[in-house]
Structure 1
């Protein structure tokens, strides 16, 4: 059977559909999460003009010269600002060592929620880091306009989850109070000579996402590949008008892998000796830093083996980021690493 990412129309949750309409969405969502872990989401309600503004912001920032972009690079441990090519290796977040370390060739710019987004609440700065902003006209306004929309979509999805899992409607409310969020703007077009165009070229190494759910806008350009249950890597592009959504590690932990945190990577094609440009923007929706991720007893079958030990949202993210951005092998991702090693290619 050919690999296919299911499409789910979430309009009933966005515009207040009937209980029957919402139930149909919840069933479709549950099936998609159990079989693929990636979903083409339509009916999300993000305005076209907001996405157009985002694309302009991406182009304006990455068109700057490298010296100017490097002024926005933050110190190690700060998940904000600019990341230059070959400064990260996503596969290390899984405990997988590649031929050379820190060789993912994408460049990126990160923004996220800060303590100012939750006035009057005592929150750790390490989990709600301050943003840095380039001197690019309208960049901040355009990026944050889309950020607000992506956050709304993610929060809508989190209201679908308990319905799909047949849990109380407020089941995830406590774990997502004062939620964290990071949005990563990625660029895969680099000047000639920046990378060697060989067979091992990697835009972004194999990885799962770290938090609850990821909302992705991307160009309709090949590059994103998703690991199927048969061990094959499959090209995935967003459908017309769709956002690609994938589950992240926290949902796999809560559901004991009944819902899939699917491995994916980026390998943009090389055409006529050049990398075909690809842009993407991933909004990573996280939980409260001290929320505990462990299999939910109500979802377990009698005698079902537990795949995960309890861990907090912050502890899990720290271990993953130590690999991808700090260059330290994550030794607590045995299940994901085994899937990468068993994959074809």
Structure 2
């Protein structure tokens, strides 16, 4: 397995994904990914299959979009409903919350301050329940097409990672793939404006508060600024940097995957703060761009603990639940 392990970044394994994609060392790669998911819930993948030119191009489109005047970006407004994550959200619009299931929890658990970021979100173009919200025709031509092309490319990579997870667990390679048609995924373009370093350090403002994702897995591409931190699995409340690794795709398991795996796989709380050793200019932390791609099963899927993750001595911890019921609870809590 050592040939596929390229090192680690603050305890998160850096894995060469190419031997899985070309079939030369599928089991070794799958085992390395699963081991990192078990330990910390995150893994870095090198040679992940998303072309570098497409990544560069999507970041360029993201910057072009966020450079538009506010009145232009607001032409594709995020709807008031928190269950319809599409369109543009201005800084301070969203408050990330954690594990909410009733009104009291929502009141008590909301972030103290809104997250200082702006975002644009899109999904499958033919999703009738959550239709995409684009800028009007003629405004930033080519943006919609670039987003949809990149969305499809990320979906292809998602399926390969899901295959690796099941190979690692010793079950059918397509066991998870059949639940993930890409129709319920969400791509988010994120821009974190430059902010005062002291306010960020003192938690007077927040980039993204501590949270875990709620779907199956999340793919994350980020620039070289940094700031992502994950909770130490052995010391709750203590966070470690997950620094940018050149050429890497960061993948983290989300809450539904943890439930699906009978807690064999971790869904780890993470946040975005000031990057370590950030070079400030006049006391300001530099702006940051990232592209998370949130993967969820089709909403009719019934999620029950995967074969091989339980035994007679270690029975399933969770009752079956529909993906729709679980995800709608979590989506509604963020707005």
The TM tier, using the shorter chain, reads 0.7 to 0.9
Change (3 A) 1:99 1:38: closer
Distance in 1, matches of 2:247 and 2:72, equals: 33
TM-score under structure 1 normalisation?
0.82
- What is the aligned partner in structure 2 of residue 28 from structure 1? 32
SS at match of 1:217: strand
Change (3 A) 1:69 1:131: closer
SS at match of 2:97: helix
SS at match of 2:119: strand
Distance in 2, matches of 1:93 and 1:133, equals: 33
| Greater CA drift, 237-246 or 100-109 | 100-109
Matched, 1:104 2:115: yes
- Structure 1 position 197, deviation (Å): 5.2
Unaligned runs of 5+ in 1: 117-124, 326-345
Q: Which stretches of structure 1, 4 residues or longer, exceed 3 Å deviation after superposition?
A: 92-102, 195-198, 305-309
CA RMSD in angstroms comes to 2.5
- Structure 1 position 275, deviation (Å): 3.1
- What is the aligned partner in structure 2 of residue 290 from structure 1? 300
Change (3 A) 1:169 1:90: same
Unaligned runs of 5+ in 2: 1-7
Match of 1:216 among 214, 220, 235: 220
Matched, 1:115 2:132: no
Per-residue deviation, residues 43-82 of structure 1 (Å, max 9, x unmatched) = 1122222112111111111112222212211322321100
Q: Indicate conservation of the 8 Å contact 2:182/2:296, yes or no.
A: no
Match of 2:18 among 5, 8, 11: 11
Distance in 2, matches of 1:25 and 1:99, equals: 39
- What is the aligned partner in structure 2 of residue 157 from structure 1? 161
- Structure 1 position 309, deviation (Å): 3.5
Match of 1:324 among 322, 327, 334: 334
Per-residue deviation, residues 289-320 of structure 1 (Å, max 9, x unmatched) = 01122323531133336443332112111111
Matched, 1:199 2:202: yes
Query: Number of residues paired by the alignment?
Result: 311
- What is the aligned partner in structure 2 of residue 312 from structure 1? 322
- What is the aligned partner in structure 2 of residue 172 from structure 1? 176
Match of 2:291 among 281, 286, 289: 281
Q: Indicate conservation of the 8 Å contact 1:188/1:268, yes or no.
A: no
TM-score under structure 2 normalisation?
0.84
Q: Indicate conservation of the 8 Å contact 2:217/2:294, yes or no.
A: yes
Distance in 2, matches of 1:172 and 1:279, equals: 30
Q: Indicate conservation of the 8 Å contact 2:15/2:43, yes or no.
A: yes
- What is the aligned partner in structure 2 of residue 120 from structure 1? none
- What is the aligned partner in structure 2 of residue 129 from structure 1? 131
Distance in 2, matches of 1:150 and 1:260, equals: 22
Q: Indicate conservation of the 8 Å contact 1:88/1:102, yes or no.
A: no
- What is the aligned partner in structure 2 of residue 185 from structure 1? 189
Distance in 1, matches of 2:98 and 2:29, equals: 36
Q: Indicate conservation of the 8 Å contact 1:176/1:286, yes or no.
A: yes
| Greater CA drift, 95-104 or 38-47 | 95-104
| Greater CA drift, 28-37 or 196-205 | 196-205
Q: Indicate conservation of the 8 Å contact 2:122/2:187, yes or no.
A: yes
Distance in 2, matches of 1:203 and 1:191, equals: 9
